[in-house]
Amino acid sequence: WWMLKLLGHERVAVLDGGLAAWRAAGLPETGAVDAPPALPPYPVRQFDPARIVDADTVLARLGEAPGWLLDARAGERFRGEVEPIDPVAGHVPGAINRPFALNLRDGRFRPAAELRAELEPLLHGRPPSQAVLMCGSGVTACHLLLAMEHAGLAGAKVYAGSWSGWISDRTRPLATGP
């Protein structure tokens, strides 16, 4: 979803709840694979680098008041209690933890109004366009981005390098705890 939007595609959809929701709704499935019809060349879109933030930008913003950087990892990873993937545990100083799993109920996105009521206060009065989202490697940051869009809080950016990228330079500061 995010990568297609990054490439300039605005009409992108996500199946809320995935295949399980499709099946629960009794919608049809098939194992048949038909050859796709011939189509004209795929339209080239414009890559939008403004939707991505790099480590230098994050570093430059570290002195700002909380609310600009949201980390979508589980709380125990954010606090530095466990780190199953990266060699260093913790979070970027000043980040606010918003585990992506909180956006879901029974495998589907929670209602937009509920999400907005929880997400908007995390921004501390900033417009969503000033927010940066991160996680461990950029994947669940996109999930949080989708939740924000669903909640009517469009325009946040993704720090695609996220925690793995941040700690690749051991001179960058890190924090542990809440």
In the numeric block, the tokens 């009521």 are attached to: 117
Task: Find the helix packing angle between 112-119 and 139-150, rounded to 10°.
Answer: 110
Secondary structure class of 80 (helix, strand, coil): coil
Given strand 157-159, what is the order of strands in its sheet? 52-53, 157-159, 132-134, 69-71, 96-97
Residue 135: active-site member: yes
* Closest among 120, 116, 139 to 131, alpha carbons compared: 120
Contact 127, 120 (CB under 8 A): no
| Residue of 70, 92, 119, 135 marked catalytic | 135
C-alpha to C-alpha distance for 48 and 133, rounded to whole angstroms? 16
Which are the catalytic amino acids?
135
